Every structure is written in C-alpha cells, then in structure tokens.
Amino acid sequence: MLRLDSAVQYVKGVGPRRSALLGSRGIRTVEDLLLHIPKSYQDRANFVPLVSLRIGQDAAVHARVYRSRVIQTRTRGRILDVVLTDGGGFAHAKWFHGGFLQAREFSAGREIVLFGRVDVDRYDSKFVFFNPEFELLEDSDESGSLDIGRYVPVYEEVAGITSRQFRRTIAGALSDLTKSIEDPLPAEIRKAHCFPDIRTSLERVHFPEAGDDLSQLNQRQSPYHRRLIFEEFFLLELIYALRRVQSRALKGVRFETSDRIRQRVKTILPFHPTVAQKRVLKEIVDDLKAPYPMNRLMQGDVGSGKTIVAFEAIVIAVENGYQAALMAPTEILAEQHYINAKRILGPLGYRVCVVRRGVKKAERQELQEKVAVGEIQVIIGTHALIEEHTVFNKLGLVIVDEQHRFGVIQRLQLMAKGENPNTLVMTATPIPRTLSMTLYGDLDLSVIDEMPPGRSPIRTIHMMERDADRIYRTIAAELEQGRQAYVVYPAIEESEKVDLKSATEGFKKLSEVFQGRRVALLHGRLKSEEKETTMRAFAAGEIDILVSTTVIEVGVDVSNATVMLIEHAERFGLAQLHQLRGRVGRGSHLSSCFLMTPGRLNDVARQRIHAMVSTIDGFRLAEVDLQLRGPGEMAGTRQSGTPEFRVANLMTDTELLALAQKEAQSWVSRTEERQKLVEALSARTRFVTVG
C-alpha cells in the first residue's frame, strides 16, 4: 500500500524514468502527485450531438474521425483539418500550425473526445472547432470510464506527461493509497467549517461524482478544493504562529524609555512626525519594552518616512547601552543610510560606521576591532555584516532594510550575532496584505500609511521614443530653474541580443544633447569609491543630470531632483518603476516622471504603464502587480523561504487565508492540541523548508 510520503516512482505506471521527469517539476512523492490538481473539468457525461451544435457554445463531443489531412498554407503554416462524425452529423476540427499532430494518428474510425468553442468556417459555413482540447481514445481501453461518461479532470501537462496519463497515474495512486490517512486538520475545525476529510477531498478533487457542481469545480470552489486550500494556508500560518510562541518564550533585550531618552529621540526629528509615524513608533517602543525580543515589519510607501522611525529606534537602543546594526542590500543604499545616520545621529555623539566589501584590509580590520569592543554603536553595512569576522560587542537592535532582497536565513544570521536582539524589518516595497501574511507571517506588522507634509506631487507621463526631444526640452527647463534630473536605463552596455538603450550609450548622447551641463554616469559595475563620489556630488548639486541604471532604485534622497526619464520603461517591473519614480518628488517643487517606450507594447507592459500613470499609491500598484505577475515572481517567495502553493491562490483565496490565520492563532494557544499539530506538520514535507 502507498502512503502520502511514498516516492512517486512506486505508483503503478510511473517507474524510475517518469519519476525523474516528475521530480524535475517538484513532484517527488504521492502527496505531490495528488496535489497536482486539475486545471479544469469537462462534462463528458453529457456530450452534444454534432447535429445539435450551436455557434458560440462550449461543447464536448464524442465522435469518430471521418478523415484527416494536413493543409500547407502561406500565413498559418501547416493546418491539421479533421472531419468528425457521430453518425448523426459532421463537424470539422482544425489545429493551426498543427502539422506536428501527425495526421496519421487521426486515422479514419479513430474514436475521439473533443472540447472547445463552436465556430463556423467562413469558407464553407460548416461547424468547426479551432484548436480544441482533445483526446484520442483507445478502442480496447479498459479504463475508458476515466475519459467519458463523467466529469473528467483536465491536467496541465508536466514533463511530457499528458492529461490522460495523469488521470491513469492518479487513479492508480488513489487505488493503492492506504485507507487510513491521518488528517492534519483537527476534526473540530473540519466540523466547524464543513470541510470533508483528506481522503474524500483527494478523491473527489480528481474524480468528481455526478452530484458535484461543475461550475464550482472549475472555479476551485468545491468543498474539496476549499478544504485543500484551507489546509495549505492553515499549516503555513501554524508555522508562523508557532514561531511567535517560541519567540515570546525567549528572553529578549529589554529597553527602558525614560524622559531623558524620549527627549534624545525628539532632538533628531527634522520635522514634526505624522500621525502614522507616531503610531508605528509607539508599536515599536511597546515591543522594545517587552520581555521578549521584537520581531516587527515596518512597511511604508516610498518617501513615507520609515528611515527616521528606524533611527528613533536606534536612539533608544544606544541610550540603553546597546549597539544597533542596519543591513542594506546594496552598497549605495548602505552608503546613503551612513550619510543620513552621521547627519541625524552625529549631533548626539554616536559613533557610526559602514562595513562593506571592497574596503582596504587594514581599514576594514580597524573598523571590525572597534565594533567588537563596542567603540562604535551604530553599524551600517551590506551582506558583510553577516560574515564571520564581523563580531559585535553588545548587539541589541537589528534592522534589515528592503527585506525582500534578502532571504529569511540572512535575517536570522544577523540576529544570531547578538543574544536574541530586537529585530525591525523594513521595506519600501508595498506588499498586499494577503502576500505579507504569507511572506512575513512570523512578524508583527506596522504600516506607515501617511506621507510627510511638504512633499510635492509627481506627474507621471507616458511618452513614445519619437517624443524624446519634447522630454529633453522639459529637462532643460528644469535645469534652468536650478533643478536636477535622473535618466534611467535598463542596461549598462549595448547588447547585440537585446535591443535596449544602454546607460553608457545614453550618457554619450545626453552629454551631447546637454552640452555645457554636468552629466555623470552611475552603474553597479563602478568601484565603491566611484559610486560614492558620484552620489555625493549629485546630492551636493554638483551634477545636473545623473544617468544611471537601477542602482538608484532605493535609498537615494535628493530633494532638488525634480524630473526623471525612464528609458525602455516597458522592460521594468511595476514595483521597480514605482521605486524609481520615488527618487523625485522629495522636495516642495512639482516633479515629473516620464516613462518612455517604443511604439508597440504587449498587453502586460501596457497594463503596467497604465497603472503607473493612473496612481502614485504604492499599495494599489502592488495589487496590480500581484495580478499581473503572481505572488512568487512579485516578491521572490522562493528566496524568502515561503513555499510555493500547490492548490491555494493568494489572489483569489483571501477569505480562506484570513480564516486559516485566525484558526492557526487559536489552535497554537492550546498546548495539547498544539503538540499534535506539530507532529502532523513534521510529516508534511512540502512545508518543512519554511524559514
């Protein structure tokens, strides 16, 4: 008998070769196989007679091949044309570029099941199915009942394994699967929400019965789908809830906030804080005063003032006698934080340093020694902070900026440099609530949802390459007013393979267009010293136009820059475009962001550009991004440690996600039940890699 954790190669009809193919797509166990759920279901219990077909209807037909041929055309290549008959009527099925289907497979008399939309051939007015889904049936197939006479599951092809082969393999797995499967969902939860048991759910999601609702099945809203979706969310949210319990059990670094410390915090504020900043700071302070370590995510749109709140937390840590470490994903962002920290925290007498790769050995060693003995209280850096030779004296606060660019492991590595230090994660990349519940479910969430006063609005304008001269005139007018500009390119050098305007070529061209102006080039391949020098010069107003790649995406704060031109904007992601746009509009002057694209755009690029022009709300853009790209690609869930969902969909299953989180938080508080769930969880192989 098979178990859920049995290797898939032991399923009848799989074997070592097919097992290797399935394994390359993440299907390694029987459970993985059974969670490869159908992409759709077809009603093959109620076939439509060919004589009853109507134009525009979606129909399943059961017929035989009358004749077939491959037609060679100029525009559509080879078309496979098959004439079908069921004894009462005729219809055509045509597959464009269908020569590969091999007409000989559709030999006269061959039985076929076909599903698609009924159209009419404009040349001979006959009913025709264009590019329909189909299956050729075997005359002597003993298991034909899997293909006709019922609601039939249709699977996405994986590693060359067809939908029909999946039906047989999964039917065999279910037949040999042990009857007693320990259900990971507590009976109380199943009863409360009318969820079927795991065995029934796996059987009926693959092979529905006549009484099941076909519409619900195709929308993944059947009771069996909902139970599997809930289970996936519940087990993940249970992991996060367990992490919270474990974190609360640790003895953390506890900070005090006396009147003197509160006064020190106030002295660093460059402006009166917004209501949102005050609320988030209070949430952080409450955590810092608690007996267990803080684990909090601070989320806020571009320019919302997250950095100053982080610096306020740093003041509290240093005034309590501890060190604070701030890790940034790029050297430019680390340098920007360093400059700001010296400017804002320097007047308090704090010693601040930046640790990064590429520094001279002697200088780096001297810095590390000072950090190790506690001479430096605020340490800012890139990945160098988590390297072995970076040792802290008394690390009490860890801040990770732009967390989505790091992995969970890197965050934990920095935290391990102290004894259960307080941890603040911050991101300027707006994340929809559903995604943050799965990306950062182990963290408490604070959102700065208000912009500081005095920020100018940003006009976002989409223009074609042919309008470049008009944009240059706008840039020139801004420079005449004493302002500065960014011009951003998606590549550093020209590539023969990709037709992109490069930063180096753009720099040459713009130097000619804006003769007499100070134009500089910035990209990731420059040495650290060169990048720092260029950024300092731009911040000081010594550069008029900064030609750059996406290295300026985050952390660059020059209030005098009022115009940005993004070349080949269609090649950038939505979150990236929003981050780049956030480099302007940081002062009191009206700012503009030009998105330049070639004449023709694909649908996704067009939607992305339209969204950018329509709103400056990062959270609204994040929702659009989630719809366009999906959760995995949008937020890099693989690198952050979140599993790829097999059944659940973050865009459509938000109600079940919220329910799963609520139930997980409830059940983790029950000691006896919690232990049972932990044991069940340890057997669910697809979740053990989380974190």
Name the CATH superfamily housing domain 259-448.
P-loop containing nucleotide triphosphate hydrolases (3.40.50.300)
- Which tokens sit at 9? 């190669």
Burial pattern 198-235, b for ≥16 Cβ within 10 A else e, equals beebbbbbbbbeeebeeebbbebebbbbbbbbbbbbbb
Confidence at residue 673, expressed as pLDDT on a 0 to 100 scale: 66
- Which tokens sit at 315? 């003041």
Query: Measured on CA atoms in the order 351, 352, 356, 362, is the torsion positive or negative?
Result: negative
Confidence at residue 564, expressed as pLDDT on a 0 to 100 scale: 96
Contact 567, 490 (CB under 8 A): yes
Contact 68, 80 (CB under 8 A): yes
Confidence at residue 684, expressed as pLDDT on a 0 to 100 scale: 55
Contact 170, 34 (CB under 8 A): yes
Mode of pairing for the β-strands spanning 127-130 and 111-120: antiparallel
Domain boundaries, the chain: 46-149, 259-448, 458-615
Query: Measured on CA atoms in the order 353, 355, 360, 364, is the torsion positive or negative?
Result: positive
Read off the amino acid at residue 31: E
Confidence at residue 591, expressed as pLDDT on a 0 to 100 scale: 94
Distance CA 184, CA 181 (A): 9
Distance CA 167, CA 135 (A): 12
Q: Euclidean distance between the first and final Cα of the chain, in Å? A: 33
What's 678's DSSP letter?
H
Residue 484 DSSP SS3: strand
Contact 425, 297 (CB under 8 A): yes
Beta bridge partner(s), residue 158: 161
Q: How many CB atoms lie within 10 A of CB 530?
A: 13
Burial pattern 295-305, b for ≥16 Cβ within 10 A else e, equals bbbbbbbbbbb
Residue by residue, DSSP assigns 619-667 as HHHHHHHHHHH-HHHHHTHHHHTPPPPSS--TTT-HHHHHHHHHHHHHH
Contact 487, 549 (CB under 8 A): no
Low-confidence ranges of the chain (pLDDT < 50): 140-143, 634-642, 685-691
Residue by residue, DSSP assigns 394-414 as SEEEEEEESGGGS-HHHHHHH
CATH class of 46-149: mainly beta
How far, in Å, are 144, 328, 640 from residue 408 at the CA level? 49, 14, 5
The CATH-assigned architecture of domain 458-615 is 3-Layer(aba) Sandwich (3.40)
Contact 552, 276 (CB under 8 A): no
Same fold, 46-149 and 458-615: no
CA atoms within 13 Å, Cβ hemisphere of 526: 21
Distance CA 593, CA 580 (A): 9
Contacts of residue 325, defined as CB under 8 A and 6 or more positions apart, other chains included, come to 379, 380, 381, 385, 392, 395, 397, 398, 399, 414, 417
Residue 590 DSSP SS3: coil
Q: What are the two backbone dihedrals, phi and then psi, of residue 2, each rounded to the nearest 5 degrees? A: -85, 150
Task: Note every long-range contact of 457-460, with CB atoms under 8 Å and residues 24 or more positions apart, other chains counting.
Answer: 457/585, 457/590, 457/591, 457/616, 458/581, 458/584, 458/585, 458/591, 458/592, 458/593, 458/616, 459/590, 459/591, 459/592, 459/593, 460/581, 460/592, 460/593, 460/595, 460/612, 460/613, 460/616
Confidence at residue 638, expressed as pLDDT on a 0 to 100 scale: 42
Confidence at residue 641, expressed as pLDDT on a 0 to 100 scale: 46
Beta bridge partner(s), residue 423: 295, 398
Confidence at residue 33, expressed as pLDDT on a 0 to 100 scale: 94
Contact 627, 651 (CB under 8 A): yes
Contact 92, 82 (CB under 8 A): yes
Contacts of residue 187, defined as CB under 8 A and 6 or more positions apart, other chains included, come to none
